[in-house]
Every structure is written in C-alpha cells, then in structure tokens.
Amino acid sequence: MSNYTKTTNFATKDTLPSGNAAKIVKGTEINTEFDNIATAVATKADTSALTSKLDTSAYTAADVLTKVKTVDGAGSGLDADLLDGVQASGFVLASAYTAADVLTKIKTVDGAGSGLDADTLDGLQASAFTKDSDYTTSLSANGHVTLPNGLMVQWGRAYISGNTANASVSLPTNFTTACFAVVASKELSSTGEGDNSGIGTTAPTTSTIRITNGSSAGHFRWIAIGH
C-alpha cells in the first residue's frame, strides 16, 4: 500500500535553456511515471471506506457483550451454550412441568413426617373429620371419654359392702344432661360364689349411680353412658 511518488519533475524542465539535454522529455520517464501511478492505484487504501470501520482497539470482549445485550432476550434467536453456567440438561423443560409430573414427584415424598399440609382429604375439609383434640379423656382406672357430639362414656371400680341396696357410687366426672344407662358386674373370687347383685332401683343422676350388692362385700366394675 503506497502513495504515488513522482520520479521525474517535468515542471523543472521548462526552466532549462534550449539545447539542454535534460529539457527533453523522454519516453522512459513518462513510462516510469505511469508505472508509479498504476502501482499507487493498485495498492492505495480506500480511506473513505476506512472511516466506517471499527478500530481494533475498540473490538474487545466487553464491547461485544455490550452490543449483544442490546439485542438479546426473547425472540433474538440467540442460542447460548450455558445459562448461569448450567447446561440445558440441568433444567426441566416447561413442557415437562405438568400437574401429572408434579403429582408423581410429590407422591415419592408424601406421607407421615413429610410436613405436607393438604387443603382437603378425598375432597373433604379437615372440619369434616374428628381429631384427637376433639375428644376429652381421662384414661385411668376410674375414667371417662367424651365424644365430639357430647356423648360420654365413664367407667370405674367401686367397693360395695355386703347386703347393701342402692349403694351410691360417685362418677369420675358429672354428666352434663343425664346418665342414660349403667352396667355393673361384681368381681367373683370363685366359680361357686353366687352373684346376687345388680343396678340399684334408684335412678342414676348426673353425678352418681346406684349398685345393689345382695351377697358378700366386694368390688364391682361398672360402665355408665350419658351426656
């Protein structure tokens, strides 16, 4: 790449006196000038085109990144190799993220201890079921259990003197409304011992039941149901 440089200064020939051999224009001189012009034309850079080119010093990775970021995103067609350093195989395709797929995965970790808190069970809210906390209990020798609907079952063991009618036995806790039924049975020490006993004729109250013992003294086990 070179500029045109004159080999012969033809203007100076005009100042030479006539008869000076240097005043003569030679064909070789003209030929040399044409060769110089041809070389310059063939190798000279097109400076007008260079003005639209980017300097190599400005063509940096940071510059490229800045320019790419102005046209990336949805619809750009840019196909990256990684996303935050992760290959595409490290992600789940949106088309695979279906309700059925989620259900399949949940079923591998649900159950006792999973901490999964569902909104319904077989389509029913929790309010449709009875919880342990809905029961009031006293699990002892003389105890009771109260069902969520208010029905109460009580039980106990009482010592009744011999030949005693309508002996009063206090309940572990009072019924709210009434005692509906009582069953009592004496503990027998032998197979030959007679059982001449039963529920007393006096009606039970919300706080007591009655047991009649028509034989020797002993313990009775009883169950009372009420509300």
pLDDT at position 130 is: 86
Instruction: Give the model's confidence band at 172: pLDDT under 50 very low, under 70 low, under 90 confident, else very high.
Output: very high
d(CA 176, CA 85): 71
C-beta of residue 145 within 8 angstroms of C-beta of residue 152: yes
Please name the helix (run of DSSP H) or strand (run of DSSP E) that holds residue 136, with its range, or none: strand 136-138
CATH class of 136-226: mainly beta
Pick from 42-51, 161-170, 195-204 the range whose average pLDDT is largest.
161-170
Once rounded to an integer, what is the mean pLDDT over residues 102-125? 87
Q: 61-73 burial string, b = 16+ CB within 10 Å, else e?
A: eeeeeeeeeeeee
pLDDT tens profile 46-61: 666 666 677 778 788 8
pLDDT tens profile 119-148: 888 888 888 888 888 899 999 999 999 999
Domain ranges of the chain: 1-68, 136-226
Q: Which amino acid does the sequence have at 2?
A: S
